[in-house]
C-alpha cells in the first residue's frame, strides 16, 4: 500500500478534489492562470508543473507530486475570482517554493497514506458487517463465533478509533515552518511580499470551507481548507494540533519583509 501510495499519490490527491487539467485554456481567466504559472516557473528556475483547476467557490491552492519533474499545481475557481494578478503570482510562487523545497514529496505521500488508512478501515467494515456478521446470523448464531472475525473486529475497532488520530499527526509531522519558508520563497520569487500578505488575508476571510478538498489533503493547501480554529491560535496547543501557522503571524512576517524592502530602497 505504501509503494502504491508513493507511485499514485499525486493522481489520487487530484482525483479526490475533482480537479480538471488545463491544457487548452478556455477563457481569459484560465489563460492568465497558465501565464502566471509559467512566469513563476521561470522565476523559481523549475520546469513548468502541470496545471489543474478545482470547481469550488472558496479560494485555495496547493501543489503535489514527487519532485519538480512530476509536480502539479491546482487552484480553485474561487481563488482566480478573488485575487488580482499580483496576488495570484504570489500564491503560485508560494506553491513553487514547496516544489523547490521538495515539501510536496512528503506531503503527497502523507496524503496518500491517509487515504490508504481510510480504505483499510472501510474494507474491514464491509468484511465484518456486510459479510461476516450477517453470515454468522444466518448460520444460527453458534456460540464462540469465528475467531478470524473476532480478530478482524478488533483490527477494525482499532483502525476506526486511531484513523482520525493518525490522519492528524501524519499531517502535523510536516513542520509548520515549511509554510513560513514557502512564504519567504514567494517573496523572493516575486519581490512583492505584500501581494502574498494581501492574498492570504482574502483567502482567510472567505466565508465557507473548501468543499472539494477533504481532511486527508488539507495539509497540502496554502491555508486550511476546513476552517479549523486551531490554525488561528498560537501556543503549545496550536503548534501540535494545527496544520498551518497562525494567519496573523504569516501576514505580519510578510508585511515586515515588505517594510524592510521599502526602507532599503528609500
Residues known to be catalytic: 95
Instruction: Tell me the DSSP string of 211-260.
Output: TTS-GGGGGGBSS-TT--GGGG--SHHHHHH-SS--HHHHHHHHHHHHHH
For the chain, list the strands marked E by DSSP: 20-21, 50-54, 61-64, 72-76
Distance, CA of 17 to CA of 173 (rounded, Å): 22
Residue 67: in which H helix or E strand, if any? none
Q: Which three cell numbers stand for residue 83?
A: 485575487
Q: DSSP secondary-structure letter at 205?
A: T
Amino acid at each position: 500500500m505504501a509503494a502504491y501510495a508513493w507511485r499514485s499519490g499525486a493522481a489520487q490527491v487530484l482525483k479526490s478534489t475533482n480537479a480538471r487539467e488545463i491544457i487548452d485554456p478556455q477563457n481569459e481567466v484560465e489563460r492568465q492562470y497558465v501565464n502566471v504559472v509559467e512566469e513563476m516557473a521561470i522565476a523559481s528556475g523549475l520546469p513548468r508543473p502541470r496545471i489543474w483547476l478545482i470547481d469550488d467557490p472558496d479560494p485555495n491552492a496547493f501543489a503535489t507530486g514527487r519532485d519538480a519533474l512530476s509536480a502539479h499545481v491546482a487552484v480553485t475557481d474561487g481563488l482566480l475570482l478573488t485575487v488580482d494578478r499580483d496576488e495570484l503570482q504570489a500564491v503560485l510562487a508560494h506553491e513553487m517554493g514547496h516544489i523547490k523545497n521538495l515539501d510536496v514529496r512528503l506531503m503527497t505521500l502523507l496524503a496518500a497514506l491517509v487515504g490508504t488508512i481510510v480504505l483499510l478501515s472501510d474494507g474491514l467494515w464491509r468484511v465484518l458487517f456486510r459479510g461476516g456478521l450477517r453470515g454468522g446470523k444466518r448460520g444460527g448464531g453458534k456460540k464462540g463465533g469465528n475467531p478470524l472475525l473476532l480478530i478482524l473486529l478488533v483490527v477494525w475497532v482499532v483502525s476506526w478509533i486511531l484513523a482520525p488520530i493518525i490522519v492528524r499527526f501524519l499531517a502535523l509531522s510536516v513542520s509548520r515552518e515549511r509554510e513560513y519558508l514557502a512564504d519567504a520563497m514567494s517573496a523572493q520569487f516575486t519581490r512583492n511580499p505584500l501581494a502574498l500578505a494581501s492574498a492570504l488575508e482574502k483567502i482567510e476571510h472567505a466565508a465557507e470551507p473548501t468543499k472539494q478538498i477533504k481532511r486527508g489533503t488539507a495539509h497540502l493547501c496554502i491555508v486550511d481548507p476546513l476552517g479549523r480554529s486551531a490554525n488561528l491560535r498560537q501556543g503549545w496547543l496550536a503548534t501540535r494540533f494545527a496544520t498551518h501557522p497562525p494567519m496573523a503571524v504569516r501576514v505580519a512576517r510578510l508585511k515586515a519583509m515588505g517594510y524592510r524592502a521599502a526602507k532599503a530602497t528609500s
